[in-house]
Every structure is written in structure tokens, then in C-alpha cells.
Amino acid sequence: MLYFLLAVGLSIVFGLLRFVNFAHGAFYLFGAYTCYQAIQWGLNFWVVLAIGPVLVGFTAWLIERTVLRKVYNLPHEYHILFTLGLAMVIQELVILVWGPVGVNVAPPNVLNGVVIWGDFIYPKYRLFLISLTSFIALLIWLLLEKTRLGSIVRAGSESPEMVTLLSINVYKIFGLTFALGAATAGLAGVLAAPLRGVEPFMGIEALAIAFVVVVIGGMGSFSGALLGGLLVGVVQSVMSTMWPQGASLMIYVSMALVLLIRPNGLMGRAQ
């Protein structure tokens, strides 16, 4: 479900903007360190869970509005160079402020311990994470399928020119979509902090997994991001038990197999 949160923002941004965002992992990193620093300041985890994604999304909106908008119409090479540069800047700022060594974030007290149902034993925090991200997935689906903004985003992913001809401020929609995508990555970072700790290079790993999930699920597809995230998570979990050394490798093998069978991804549309 964390992989879904990472991938859905990347997928939505690509679907509407046709913009490959290599800084997406950096927003995940920013969200994780926001969680760590806020807890160091004595803030409650639940407060951080609410304000962390908003802060990340607002930062992304400012970046999109002031800088990113100037490179939309340039070739994709410029998109890659700019967003890679942005990711490196954020990563180096994190190292300057918090250092190169990873740190731990404790889960809230109410979510410490495990749940025991007969022979089933599972950490409370992981059950909370699954439940919350499932609820977030439902909210994002409702936003995309049942609201005017969602209709514009879906229409824009099909034909941005037609949306512009309908007197809709497409750049405003672009900014909101980019902020939403970054906010979901920031939320994934906040939730991942108590689960796996926080370190400056976690954004690189997250970006690689997010791209794999998006490619498997299909570019620009919400349901594809959900299905791809679950598939990648299950493959990684099973292989971690059967062949720990090859768990990461099997993620990319799964992607290759899916592309051989369905070049547009499991839920992607042929162009």
C-alpha cells in the first residue's frame, strides 16, 4: 500500500502533464524527514500525519508555479535534467541539515505491539498503515471519478488541448495535480518513517520502486497503480522469504514479464 501511495502520484502527474518527475522520490524523503523533525520538536504523530503531506504538497506547488511551469513545453530531456537536479538539491539539503546517518522514528504508543487473532500475529502499526492507505485510496478514487476536478484531470490526460479550449485554466489544474502527487509521496514518507526509519538516500529507492509500479500498472492509471503496488509488494515479500538475496531483483523481473505480455502495463491504454 505504501508502494501504491508512491506510484499513484507519479502516475497521475504523468497522465495529465506528460511529465516524468524524477524528483518524486525526493518528496517522499522530505515527508519522512518532516515526520522525524516534527516529532523531535515534540509534536504528536497524528498532527504530523495531517500537516506533513500538506507541507510537502504546498512546497511542490510553489516549485511548479515558479520554476517547473517554464519547462513544460521543452523536450523530455529537460524534464529529466531539471527534476533530477531538484532531487539532488533536496537530498543534499537533507544531508546538510540532518547529516548522512539514518535515524529512527518511534510509532505512536497506541500503535505499539502486535495484534493476536488465534495463530495470526501482526504488528498494530502495519495494520493501521494498511487500513489508512486503503481509505486514502478510496478518497483519491472518489476525487478522480466523482468530482469536477477529477473529470478535468481525466479529460486532460486524454487531450490537454481540448481542456484548454473549454476555457479551463489548465495551468492551475497542472499545479494542483502536481501538488496532489507530491502530497501522496509525502504521506507515504510520513507513514514509512516509523516503519523503516529515515535516511537521506531512501528517496532513490522509493523512486525506482514507484517507476516499476507505474510501468507494471500502466502509465496514468489509478487502478494500475493500486494493482501494481500490491503485485510488487507481494512479489518482494514472498521472495524475501524464499530467496532474500534476490528479492529486489525479482521486482524488475516481474516488470519485464508484464511488459512482455502487456507492453502498456496491466491497466494501461494503448496510445
Strands (E), 85-180: 114-117, 120-123
Residue 138's pLDDT band, with cuts at 50, 70 and 90, is very high
Count each helix (H run) and each strand (E run) in the chain, helices first.
11, 2
**If you search the block for the grid coordinates 501494481, which residue do you land on?**
228
Closest CA to 222 of 148, 160, 152, 138: 138
Q: Is pLDDT above 80 for 166?
A: no
* CB 29 within 8 Å of CB 200: yes
- The predicted pLDDT at position 25 comes to 92
**Residue 123 phi, psi dihedral angles, 5° rounding:** -60, 140
More confident residue, 41 or 9: 41
Residue 39's pLDDT band, with cuts at 50, 70 and 90, is very high
Q: Is pLDDT above 90 for 199?
A: yes
d(CA 260, CA 252): 12
Range of the domain at 171: 2-199
Mean pLDDT of 205-232: 87
**Structural domain contains residue 251:** no
Domain count, the chain: 1
Per the confidence metrics, is the pTM higher than 0.85? yes
In the chain, the N- to C-terminal Cα span, in Å, equals 28
Query: Residue 180 contacts by C-beta under 8 Å, 6 or more apart in sequence?
Result: 9, 12, 57
Angle between helix 2-17 and 222-242 (nearest 10): 140
**Structural domain contains residue 252:** no
Helices (H), the chain: 2-17, 24-40, 45-66, 76-98, 124-146, 148-158, 160-165, 170-196, 202-217, 222-242, 247-261
**Structural domain contains residue 102:** yes
- The predicted pLDDT at position 271 comes to 56
**Structural domain contains residue 214:** no
123-132, 249-258, 260-269, range with greatest mean pLDDT:
123-132
**Structural domain contains residue 119:** yes
Mean pLDDT of 10-25: 79
**Structural domain contains residue 270:** no
Q: Is pLDDT above 80 for 15?
A: no
- Other CB atoms within a 10 A radius of the CB of residue 89 amount to 12
Closest CA to 24 of 192, 183, 153, 198: 183
Q: Is pLDDT above 70 for 109?
A: yes
Which of the 8 DSSP states describes residue 69?
Answer: G
**Structural domain contains residue 221:** no
Q: What is the pLDDT of residues 53-88, one digit of tens each?
A: 999 999 999 998 888 888 877 887 888 888 999 999
**Structural domain contains residue 255:** no
